[in-house]
Amino acid sequence: MFIAMNRFKVKKGSETAFEQVWLGRDSYLDRMPGFVEFHLLKGPEAEDHTLYSSHTVWASKAEFEAWTKSEEFRRAHARAGNTTTGPLYLEHPKFEGFEVRQTLKAAEPATA
């Protein structure tokens, strides 16, 4: 399993616009082999920004890399330049990729 994350420092006052861009876009992720799940995370607030992260889980690193080279990826990121909203970030998003080494899940409740 592979987890791909991007961290965004969203300018104070731009949080709603940032979330609307993400919630209103077509991601095309569900069309991609190996896609497991996606999360948009809102983190702590600092003086000049709010931290957000996109968190995508893939079956493998190779399938994530295939996504980044796909037509679906280009279409999903076509509006990433903030042409309609103006700049929402303090700096370019920071990518982090992780190969999963351990996964723990909640125990299944006992059935009677």
Q: Domain limits at 7?
A: 2-99
Q: How many domains does the chain have?
A: 1
- What pLDDT does residue 80 have? 60
Is the residue at 84 inside a domain?
Answer: yes
Is the residue at 112 inside a domain?
Answer: no
- What pLDDT does residue 27 have? 87
Q: Which residues are CB-contacts of 35 (< 8 A; sequence separation ≥ 6)?
A: 29, 56, 57, 58, 59, 63, 67
Is the residue at 28 inside a domain?
Answer: yes
- What pLDDT does residue 85 have? 54
Domain containing 37 — which CATH number?
Answer: 3.30.70.100
Is the residue at 105 inside a domain?
Answer: no
Residue 26 main-chain phi, psi, to 5 deg: -90, 120
Is the residue at 36 inside a domain?
Answer: yes
Residue-by-residue pLDDT tens, the chain, 112 positions: 999 999 999 999 999 999 998 888 888 999 999 999 999 999 999 999 999 999 999 999 999 999 999 998 888 877 665 555 557 888 888 999 999 999 999 998 877 6
Q: Which residues are CB-contacts of 69 (< 8 A; sequence separation ≥ 6)?
A: none
